[in-house]
Amino acid sequence: MFRSCVIGALIAVGCLLAWGCSRTPYFIAKEEPWRAEEERACLAAGYVQRSPFLQARASLGGPNVCGALQPFSMSATRSGRVGLNPPAMLRCPMIPAVERWIENVVEPAAERYFGVPVVEVKVAASYGCRPMNNQWGSKLSEHGHANALDVSGFVLADGRKIDVKSGWWGNPREQAFLRTVHRGACSEFTTVLGPDYDRLHRDHFHLDLARRMNGRVCK
Ligand SMILES: [Zn+2]
């Protein structure tokens, strides 16, 4: 049983970390030196400043199998105007990308389409040591590297909630707002997936900073 797991040392770790070994490894992970290099460069560049809304957390044991060298728990944007609920566990490069998306895209879009500020981004998932789409034997998800954020909706200052699931095909304002923030995410993240991508994403936007051979994905 164990032998089937040892396709590579990393896969074996994936098996041990996860649900134990079975015929198919829980996920497939490979050596990706760029991850640690990119994270160290981001930390050294000082893009990320600790604040009441951004707390450093203990290493998650990564960055090759699962985790990150220095993950952060992000509970709001730098300004404190827009909360992330629940707080998202993210690696360094994701933080400025999420900040810019919220400040430059989400906040103006809320004012434009609803005439009130956005106060909260609803986080459906951030860090999680799991395969892509939770499918046994798939490649390790970007969520496993704290390099992805799933957003299921937004809360406005007047209490209105704009959910991806109901709003993507909801009233015209909700549709326009959600399509604007989805499209706007594509200039900050290398992967943006929403309800038009597949049924697994019908209730959230998946945003990540994967490095891919074929450039960006924006669907
Ligand atoms: Zn996701």
Quick one: pLDDT at residue 4?
A: 32
Q: Could you tell me the distance, in angstroms and rounded to a whole number, from the CA of residue 68 to the centre of ligand 1?
A: 17
pTM, to two decimals: 0.88
Q: Could you tell me the distance, in angstroms and rounded to a whole number, from the CA of residue 3 to the centre of ligand 1?
A: 31
Sign of the alpha-carbon torsion through 30, 33, 34, 35: positive
Quick one: pLDDT at residue 11?
A: 44
Mapping DSSP to helix (H, G, I), strand (E, B) and coil, where does residue 128 land?
coil
Task: List the chain pLDDT tens, one digit each, 219 residues.
Answer: 333 333 333 444 444 444 444 456 788 888 888 999 999 999 999 989 889 999 999 887 655 578 899 999 999 999 999 999 999 999 999 999 999 999 999 999 999 999 999 999 999 999 999 999 888 889 899 999 999 999 999 999 999 999 999 999 999 999 999 999 999 999 999 999 999 999 999 999 999 999 988 789 999
Quick one: pLDDT at residue 2?
A: 31
Q: Which amino acid is at 74?
A: M
Q: Could you tell me the distance, in angstroms and rounded to a whole number, from the CA of residue 149 to the centre of ligand 1?
A: 6
Q: Residues with Cβ within 5 Å of ion ligand 1?
A: 148, 150, 206
Quick one: pLDDT at residue 23?
A: 54
Specify the DSSP class assigned to residue 74. Answer: E
201: which residues sit within 8 A by CB, 6+ positions away?
193, 194, 195
- Domains plus CATH for the chain? 1-30 (no CATH), 32-218 (3.30.1380)
CB burial of residue 1 (10 Å; 0-12, 13-18, 19+): exposed
Q: Could you tell me the distance, in angstroms and rounded to a whole number, from the CA of residue 136 to the centre of ligand 1?
A: 16
Q: Could you tell me the distance, in angstroms and rounded to a whole number, from the CA of residue 201 to the centre of ligand 1?
A: 8
Quick one: pLDDT at residue 30?
A: 81
28: which residues sit within 8 A by CB, 6+ positions away?
7, 11, 14, 131, 137, 138, 139, 140
Q: Could you tell me the distance, in angstroms and rounded to a whole number, from the CA of residue 64 to the centre of ligand 1?
A: 18
Quick one: pLDDT at residue 63?
A: 58
Quick one: pLDDT at residue 190?
A: 97
Chain centre distance of CA 154: 15
Q: Taking the CA atoms of the chain, what radius of gyration do you get in angstroms?
A: 18
Q: Could you tell me the distance, in angstroms and rounded to a whole number, from the CA of residue 205 to the centre of ligand 1?
A: 7
